Amino acid sequence: MNVITKVILLIVLIVTPIIGLFAYTNQQSVHVIEDQINTRNEEKLSYFLNEIERLLDQNMMYATLATKDPEIRDVSFGNLPPSGYDRQNVIQSIQSKLRLFSITNQVMNVISVYFPKSDLSLSTMSSAIFGQAEVQNQFTANWKLNKVDVNGVQMEAFSRYFFSPYQVDPHNLMNADLIIRVDFFTQNITNLLDGFTLAGHSDAFFYHSPDQVVYSSKANTELIQQVMKLYPLDQYTSKTKSYDIVKIDGKKYLLYTLASSKMDWSLVDIEPLDQILQPVVVSRNLFYVILLLLLLFGIVSALLLYSHIHVPIRILIRGVEHIKNKNFAYQIKSRRKNEFQQLFDSFNGMAVEIDQLLKRVYTEEVRSREAVMKQLQSQINPHFLYNCLAYIVNMAKMNKNQSVIAMAHNLGDYYKYTTRNESLVTTLRMEIDLAISYLDIMNSQLDKLAYTITIPENMLDFQIPKLLIQPIIENAIVHGLEDKLEDGVIAITGMADQVCRLVIEDNGSGLTSDALQMLRKTTGQEVNISERTGLWNVNHRLKYYFGEHSGIQIDHSALGGLRIELYWEIVEKEGAA
């Protein structure tokens, strides 16, 4: 373990307990804040829900007071003047009392009375007058959300019916002395929710079901709809109160619900947890940034120590090891404005003469290697050549001069192309010509090959690396078609768009699925570990010339053998030869 490693390890050991302690205290702080938020929101929800229930209780109280009024009770018993001034005077008096009840309540509401025995309806708002049909169709003993006509405008309100005497059967309300309906507008709850929202960052709403919701005037309805969609509230509102952390669009929210004890509704509040904890998060991030800066400062200090002392010593040690291993050409190229530079210059001067000698030896070695490479490039397949020459001899003995001439021409074209070393790049047209020469040579020997070539004219002048197609055809013949008794077929098809594709198929014996999978694996490896180098060589030369978005694909062919597809992107360096 070197000096720099020890210093960095020491810094890490010092910083780790600090990070652990801060993470623990930060987590505890977050828990305390969340507990405080939960307590505050629970109290706030309880307060505002009590306010809503108090307003509803007030409306019930005024409805009860109306049933106790002597004049209203007198009319409910059927003692209403039949006509004239007295009747009108009684009606106006009752309407005035109803308005007084409504005004005293200090909320937006409508109080309506129906006297079954007199078939008389009175209300604080003329458009809200109801009769026997409305009672029978809309009666509910609990508060229910519906639409109320207010001077031609439909407004949402909570409605509830009261009747006297209380012993009357609810299914036969026409036997009651009077029926009172109180309409408590949801705007009153909206106003309360506005006050609730102003007390924090929350979005509060009154909830019964997804289609019966009372929002505040500034509610983020889009957020609330997302919450109701992703986290159905019925699972929460079924409890007296609940609390949960939900995540919307990657942000955390606190979800609170508190059920009303007097109606089948719940008060729901959504608090942005990330926004509430923002100061804590900022402090935490600031601590981590400062800690990171301190850590970087420590590492930089260790690196400076490493660079100015440890590295020069290691350079000298490495130079001595090279000299020891008879690598006398090694030179220290470091330039330092300190005492080490004089030592480096002395080391380099010591090896100058030996370096010159070894450079000459190295030059001779490079020339030798280049000669070997040229020799390897010029080598031909002796087995292939012997077969072709034997075929020529046999045809000559049989006086088949045309076959001899054709074989000689094809063989000459083939070796003239394969032994040309001045360029490693050719055109697709020349590669196809070579493939035709090779197929004609093999067909002359085997006399059972047929081939088709279908390539667009605009592809033939594209530049490609040499010897891409012939090795694939050779593989197809040697490993798939040569041992077959039936005639062999090779199809070469080209297509070009943004990507050029060249497909070579045969009807040979093919491969099993396992063998095909193994062939794909070995062909795509960085280093060839198989005895068969043809496909591996073609794949890697394609990638080297055209980039990573090129290569070969190997699959079963519809003809029965293998389907080899060469593909590459059309790039600027492609063009006419």
Q: State whether 243 and 309 are in the same domain.
A: no
Residue 387 included in any domain? no
Q: State whether 250 and 297 are in the same domain.
A: no
Would you say residue 371 has pLDDT above 60? no
Domain containing residue 478: CATH number? 3.30.565.10
Give 193-248 as a DSSP string. HHHHHHTSS-EEEEEEETTEEEE-TT--HHHHHHHHHHS-THHHHTSSEEEEEEEE
pLDDT at 201: 66
Residue 576 included in any domain? no
Per the structure, the complete domain to which residue 493 belongs is given by 424-569
Residue 251 included in any domain? yes
Q: State whether 142 and 165 are in the same domain.
A: yes
* % of the chain beyond a pLDDT of 70: 87
Pairing mode of beta strands 203-209, 266-272: antiparallel
- Closest of 238, 249, 254 to residue 45, by C-alpha: 254
Residue 132 included in any domain? yes
Q: Report the half-sphere exposure of 64 (CA within 13 A, side-chain side).
A: 7
Would you say residue 299 has pLDDT above 70? yes
pLDDT at 368: 45
pLDDT at 510: 87
In terms of average pLDDT, the best of 146-160, 300-314, 342-356, 424-438 is 424-438
Would you say residue 532 has pLDDT above 70? no
pLDDT at 382: 60
Q: State whether 309 and 222 are in the same domain.
A: no
Instruction: Choose the final residue of a domain: 261, 276, 291.
Output: 276
Q: State whether 105 and 5 are in the same domain.
A: yes
Q: State whether 337 and 483 are in the same domain.
A: no
Residues 104, 119 contacting (CB under 8 angstroms): no
Instruction: Choose the final residue of a domain: 354, 371, 395.
Output: 354
Say how far apart CA 14 and CA 12 lie, in whole Å: 5
Q: State whether 490 and 345 are in the same domain.
A: no
User: For all residues of the chain together, what is the average pLDDT?
Assistant: 79
Q: State whether 291 and 272 are in the same domain.
A: no
Residue range 148-164: mean pLDDT, rounded: 82
Say how far apart CA 544 and CA 540 lie, in whole Å: 6
* pLDDT per position as a tens digit, 206-249: 888 888 888 888 888 888 888 888 888 888 777 888 888 888 88
Would you say residue 330 has pLDDT above 80? no
Q: How many domains does the chain have?
A: 3
* pLDDT per position as a tens digit, 252-296: 888 888 888 888 888 888 888 877 777 777 887 887 788 788 778
* Range of lowest pLDDT (40-44, 102-106, 169-173, 430-434): 102-106
Residue 45 included in any domain? yes
Q: State whether 29 and 99 are in the same domain.
A: yes
Residue 392 included in any domain? no
Residue range 352-363: mean pLDDT, rounded: 66
More confident residue, 576 or 196: 196
pLDDT at 571: 65
Q: State whether 437 and 524 are in the same domain.
A: yes
Residue 315 included in any domain? yes
Residue 359 included in any domain? no
More confident residue, 61 or 106: 61
* pLDDT per position as a tens digit, 466-525: 888 888 888 888 888 888 888 899 999 999 888 999 999 999 888 999 999 998 888 888
Query: Residue 128 gets which letter from DSSP?
Result: G
Instruction: Choose the final residue of a domain: 292, 324, 354.
Output: 354
pLDDT band at 550 (very low <50, low <70, confident <90, very high): very high
pLDDT at 360: 67
Q: State whether 184 and 260 are in the same domain.
A: yes
User: pTM here?
Assistant: 0.46
pLDDT band at 159 (very low <50, low <70, confident <90, very high): confident
Structural element, H or E, at residue 563: strand 562-569
Would you say residue 574 has pLDDT above 50? no
* pLDDT per position as a tens digit, 390-406: 778 877 877 877 877 87
Would you say residue 203 has pLDDT above 60? yes
Would you say residue 380 has pLDDT above 50? no
* % of the chain beyond a pLDDT of 90: 10
Q: State whether 259 and 288 are in the same domain.
A: no
Pairing mode of beta strands 562-569, 488-496: unpaired
pLDDT at 428: 92
